[in-house]
Structure 1
Amino acid sequence: MKSFRFSLAGATWSGRLIACLSATLAMVVTSTFSAMVLDETSPLLLGPIAASAVLIFTLPTSPLSQPWRVIGGHVISAVIGYGAAILIPDTALAAELSLGLSMLVMTLTRSFHPPGGGMAVTTALAGPEVAKWGILFPFLPVGLNAIALVLTGVAFHALFRQSYPHHPSQEPAGAPAATSGVLPEDLDRALEQMGATFDISREDLNRLLDHAEANAIERRRGPTARMG
């Protein structure tokens, strides 16, 4: 049964079930809103937008799920995919190059959003659907769907009193004071030593260390000290 346990820290079955339902409803709301405004639907966008919904509703505190990354990542990637489709006759090559270029530009603009790579490839491969919209494609169907998804995410998370957009600097009342003594450069060095990238901001990681140390101190004091 161990293989069925969540490997992601903090994940629970109730949280995941709520996320599944919320993401599904969010996609319905987003598609309906887009159809009302544009008077038509764009089924080819469902894949990349659905990937964003997974992030927004399962990892709302992730840096990759924040509004600018969702909206900016999709729009920027769609622009790149559109340009690649126009400039490169080979459709497969256009899609492949648009993926790498979109990743680079998203990194430079601090809008790195993994589903954006899918949007770049989708746009490069779309053909007639993109041609119908022309240069407006990245901003109307793509941008509008991304904005609608983010607004839906804000509303759903507010309903369940969850943090989205997530602000790492906000500490809830009663939280332990910063006691770990870990400096930003210590975290940077540790990450460099591990040679890995983690889907958490430095601020949240520091807060996690502070909470963990406070809990460890309380545990070492024992029940008698806590009662006192």
Structure 2
Amino acid sequence: MHNALLPILPLFRDDLPLDTTELARFMIGKYLVCERSEGRMSGRIVETEAYPLGDSTSHAFAGRRPYNGSMFLAPGYAYVRLTYGLSYMLNMSAEPEGIGAGILIRAIEPLEGLPLMEVRRPGVPLRDLARGPGRLTMALGIDQSFDGCDLCTGRGLWIGVIEKGAASIGVTTRIGLSREMHRPLRFFEPGSVFVSGPRKLLMTPD
């Protein structure tokens, strides 16, 4: 007997705020769903980072290129990039079409399809299955083939919602940057053990 699927409702493009920083905040508490032939995996988004227009650390800062075109699509498209030749990162386009900006989905709390994730990350405790952007994509099997995927269709790889109302949200600076480190553009679910990075960073600036 199969367990009932979570009642996750798709988020549509009109549901998304038209501002990169607001979108990064908005996505905390929403759900990331990946449907594959072997089954469905999903998790609650507990950590994001914003890379807004004009941010020198953004992959879109130098303008539209063959590799970053998905960042210039309308809000809600996947931008998947291999970073340092090691890990894929799942980003989402965030501004009106033609404007390059996006958010990074850094971590989820795994909820559905745990055995499928564990096959890709064997021997890893639940807490660490998708705690960090590279771990997240590995657990869900997300690679370059997902670049440009529409996350607002309710099919394949998509974003959704269960709870109504705003989630509790913390904000701090981003991780692993060599410039623009001071900007409070990292959002997370306070108290979640599935948030990545040092615990000391999980505080809300005054």
The answer to whether TM tops 0.5 is: no
Higher relative contact order at CA 8 Å, sep ≥6: structure 1 or structure 2? 2
- Between Structure 1 and Structure 2, the one with more helix by share is 1
Q: Provide TM-score, normalisation by structure 2.
A: 0.27
- Between Structure 1 and Structure 2, the one with more strand by share is 2
Q: Provide TM-score, normalisation by structure 1.
A: 0.25
Larger Rg: 1
